[in-house]
Structure 1
Amino acid sequence: MRRSARRFAVRISEMTVPDAYRIEPDRIADSRGFFYEAIRAEALRSITGHELEIRQVNYSVSKRNTVRGIHGTALPPGQAKLVTCVRGAALDIAVDIRVGSPTFGHYAVTRQDAESGTAVYLPDGIGHAFLALTDDTCMCYLCSVEYVPGTMIDIDALDPELALPWKLTGPPIRSAKDAAAPSLSEAAAAGLLPTYEQCVRSYARNGPAGGGAAGPAAGGRHSFQRR
């Protein structure tokens, strides 16, 4: 069952890829512009059941029609991440790459832009890719684990079997590494992907919501921090 809750400041809702969440903040606007709370750790924990301890913060800046991904991290060490667009706009796609998952190969699409502040929370086993819709699109990644060389998973974002709904307005700009990545089925056959069982165990270590189990009650209200 998909879970969601409405806070005064933010809405957190489970996407069609189980265990991945979309975060939509409310904005306070005035003559200066606007302000919003992107997330609170307690709010994220109360809905997802996961503790997200930030160990590394990454930024990427991309030209229009750049496609980055699909990227994931092997287990161990795994890596959960909170991804948001802080400049420009992006078509963000989460992909279930957990071998044995009931939704293996399914994806969820989120439009992100700097105005809305919409973000996505992706636990272990959920691949991530995005298309930059504007020049100078800047994405921020709050990561639970520092990068460990040799643990990154790459899957072809243009895999015809996945058929991700990219809205390209020109030839995609990709790194040589991304362009040479295997398809999802090839990566699975080569043993490169985490299993659903591995991910469920990882979720259990970080809270009770992993693997589709009912998370803790999402009660209480969160007021805005005003600036």
Structure 2
Amino acid sequence: MKAIKTEIPGVVLLEPEVFGDARGYFMERFSQRRFDELVGPVRFVQDNESKSRYGVVRGLHFQKGEYAQAKLVSVVRGRVLDVAVDIRRGSPTFGRHVAALLDGENKRQLFIPRGFAHGFAVLSDEAVFQYKCDNYYAPGSEGGIAWDDPALAIDWRLPAGEILLSEKDRRHPKLADAPELFEYDRP
């Protein structure tokens, strides 16, 4: 596995080594030892999976306070545009985002540290999306940012009329109006 730096320090694209032949392929999806070498020590405690159809946009989500989460995300089947937005006030990259194409073919993973909002858009007929979290989900600590906030300038690569959202995702505030975000810990 190799790490590919992104435009925002701490957000890391991971590319596994895939061994294929006429029978199929084998890859190591996750190794704590290798992850720690490439990214740093993160203890994951929960794995989640979702299945979505074309046009679905999920996000931009985060967990607040003591329930903040770092995530390691990947796609088992299908293709998504995965997005991480820096929502750490005082950060030199506050309000900027990283977007990565993840799919069942490239098998890439994106690591999103705490202090980021996360979302994805399904670009294939269907997508099975998996993510590891370093903290347990707490419904009372959910936060969100509007997926279509013009200040974020995210190109979701979907026609506006084909985007499918949950009712909750329709109501998230713009970044400038978000009541509770994160503070940047200067190194």
| TM-score normalised to structure 1 length | 0.78
- Aligned residue in 2 for 1:40: 31
1:193 counterpart = 2:181: yes
What SS does structure 2 have at the residue aligned with 1:76? Answer: helix
Q: Contact 2:2–2:14 (CA<8 Å) still a contact in 1?
A: yes
Q: CA shift at 1:70, angstroms?
A: 0.6
Give the aligned length. Answer: 186
| Counterpart residue type for residue 143 of structure 1 | C
Q: Contact 2:46–2:132 (CA<8 Å) still a contact in 1?
A: yes
- 1:189-212 Cα shifts (integer Å, max 9, x gaps): x2x101113xx6xxxxxxxxxx4x
Q: Which consecutive unaligned segments of at least 5 residues does structure 1 have?
A: 1-9, 201-210, 212-227
Q: Contact 1:86–1:114 (CA<8 Å) still a contact in 2?
A: yes
For 2:109 and 2:75, locate their aligned partners in 1 and report how far apart those are by CA, in whole Å.
7
For 2:168 and 2:133, locate their aligned partners in 1 and report how far apart those are by CA, in whole Å.
21
Indicate the structure with greater strand content.
2
Q: Which consecutive unaligned segments of at least 5 residues does structure 2 have?
A: none
| TM-score normalised to structure 2 length | 0.94
Q: Which has the larger radius of gyration?
A: 1
1:126 counterpart = 2:84: no
1:62 counterpart = 2:27: no
- 1:129-163 Cα shifts (integer Å, max 9, x gaps): 11101122110011111111211111111111111
Paired-residue identity, %: 36
Q: CA shift at 1:77, angstroms?
A: 2.4
Q: Contact 2:74–2:110 (CA<8 Å) still a contact in 1?
A: yes
1:138 counterpart = 2:128: yes
